[in-house]
Amino acid sequence: MSKPLEGIKIIDFTHVQAGPACTQLLAWFGADVIKVERPGSGDVTRSQLRDIPDADALYFTMLNSNKRSLTLDTKTPEGKEVLEKLVKESDVLVENFAPGALDRMGFTWERLNELNPKLIVASVKGFSDGHHYDDLKVYENVAQCAGGAASTTGFWDGPPTVSAAALGDSNTGMHLAIGILTALIGRGQTGRGQKVAVSMQDSVINLCRVKLRDQQRLDRVGYLEEYPQYPHGEFSDVVPRGGNAGGGGQPGWVLKCKGWETDPNAYIYFTIQGHAWEPICRALGKPEWISDPNYATAQARQPHIFDIFATIEAWLADKTKYEAVDILRKFDIPCAPVLSMKEIANDPSLRASGTIVEVPHKERGTYLTVGSPIKFSGLKPEITGSPLLGEHTDEILSELGYSKDQIANLHTSRSV
């Protein structure tokens, strides 16, 4: 099966998570992604949180599948020359260095554009260009805090809380992938490359859109009727943390199921969506609630929503989370079990769909990773193991026209 991005060559000058997540996605879809890494050490994640001594850590292997690895010291004259050759032959350069690092290396946007006017230069930074924090180095949780996610996540009586989901890192990488693909289509129209920049703060803000909606509603009316604070609690002038309340206007909560006393994940998420109220009452054996004026509308329910959740929890007490969902799904009630990572790793449906995949690795044996969450009718991304450090250095140099002797000299000078 041919892959849509076949023939697109990408210089992957990324590290840690945000950039690698972007280029990995493009590699799955057929791009030739050449990961450029510092000789000797490579991407810092190769050695971070190792579970097998001396083997690439899962942090690296799970973000760098389907790529080739070229070691290159881009601060030596010889290394710079190799990079220049690569730039001339490539379609995209992706980087997520600290602000100014690429410029200090001598590869400003102007220089790259001069070397290859068709090149798309894609960058991740913590904050956007011109922002008053644009000199900062940024990691995941910093972005979650600066992007509004932390102030709106957690419980009202606790501190701002970050999410386990990589809203700052992988999410920014996904935004960048969209930017790169857009620029590639644009290049088809104009023949020219361009600079594509995504900041981690902006990417988090983009996912916190509904919280900005809520800020404006709060400014206007002084309360937010779907938050647990309504109608008994107090609102200040900023969007509060709403615990596990549903963000889209449907009240919902995480509810205990059978076994919660010993199993930290024996819970379901239960949503009380307006149109599902009748089936909910039937499923719970409470048909009298359907027409009771204290329960019949969302507005009538809100003042005692936690009593309703308590009644549902009583109904759940003798059902496992899976049994509960199996009953509720028959009534078309939006709900799901709270799944642990162990359950996700072993879920047969996720294995069958290719979302959780096992891939071979030269040093580790087989490891588990997340495959493509995007499914196509005409493409089944095949996930291959991540490259060893410098595994493809000689191969790539010879593709660039270097002779065996020249390659040997580059090794001797420690430029590759």
Q: Which residues bind ligand COA (CB under 6 A)?
A: 16-19, 36-38, 72-75, 96-98, 101, 104-105, 124-126, 137-139, 169
- Contact between 315 and 285 (Cβ < 8 Å): yes
Helices and strands: H and E segment counts in the chain: 17, 11
Q: In sequence order, what DSSP letters do the residues of 347-406 get, joined into one string?
A: -HHHHHHTSEEEEEETTTEEEEEE--S---SS--PPP-PPPPTTTTHHHHHHHTT--HHH
CB of 195 to ligand COA, least distance (A): 15
Task: Decide whether 32 or 37 has the Cβ nearer to ligand COA.
Answer: 37
Task: Decide whether 281 or 397 has the Cβ nearer to ligand COA.
Answer: 397
* Residues in a beta bridge with 36: 70
CB of 411 to ligand COA, least distance (A): 15
CB of 165 to ligand COA, least distance (A): 14
Task: Decide whether 99 or 259 has the Cβ nearer to ligand COA.
Answer: 99
Task: Look up residue 369 and give its two tokens.
Answer: 């990773």
C-alpha 344/C-alpha 271 separation (Å) is: 22
Q: What are phi and psi of 87, to 5 degrees?
A: -60, -40
**Catalytic residue of the set 56, 169, 202, 214:** 169
Examine the residue annotation and report whether 394 is marked as an active-site residue of this protein: no
Task: Look up residue 231 and give its two tokens.
Answer: 């109608």
CB of 125 to ligand COA, least distance (A): 5
C-alpha 198/C-alpha 321 separation (Å) is: 40
Q: Is 64 exposed, middle or buried (0-12, 13-18, 19+ CB in 10 A)?
A: buried
Task: Look up residue 188 and give its two tokens.
Answer: 């088809």
Task: Decide whether 75 or 192 has the Cβ nearer to ligand COA.
Answer: 75
Q: Which helix (H) or strand (E) holds 176?
A: helix 170-190
User: Which residue from 388, 389, 361, 362 is spatially nearest to 37, judged by alpha carbons?
Assistant: 389
Binding residue positions for CoA: 15-18, 38, 72-75, 96-98, 104, 137-140
CB of 385 to ligand COA, least distance (A): 21
CB of 133 to ligand COA, least distance (A): 11
Binding residue positions for substrate: 248-250
Task: Decide whether 198 or 218 has the Cβ nearer to ligand COA.
Answer: 198
User: Which residue from 95, 99, 103 is spatially nearest to 173, judged by alpha carbons?
Assistant: 95
Count the Cβ atoms, other than its own, within 10 Å of residue 98.
13
Q: Which residues contact 412 (CB under 8 A, 6 or more apart)?
A: none
Task: Decide whether 28 or 59 has the Cβ nearer to ligand COA.
Answer: 59
C-alpha 310/C-alpha 308 separation (Å) is: 5
CB of 129 to ligand COA, least distance (A): 12
Binding residue positions: 15-18, 38, 72-75, 96-98, 104, 137-140, 248-250
CB of 96 to ligand COA, least distance (A): 3
Q: Which residues contact 271 (CB under 8 A, 6 or more apart)?
A: 246, 250, 251, 252, 333, 334, 335
Task: Look up residue 87 and give its two tokens.
Answer: 């730039």
In Å, what is the CA distance from 106 to each residue of 76, 77, 79, 102, 120?
A: 11, 11, 12, 7, 17
Task: Decide whether 69 or 372 has the Cβ nearer to ligand COA.
Answer: 69
408: left (phi over 0), alpha (psi -120 to 50) or beta: alpha
Task: Decide whether 18 or 149 has the Cβ nearer to ligand COA.
Answer: 18
Residues taking part in catalysis: 169
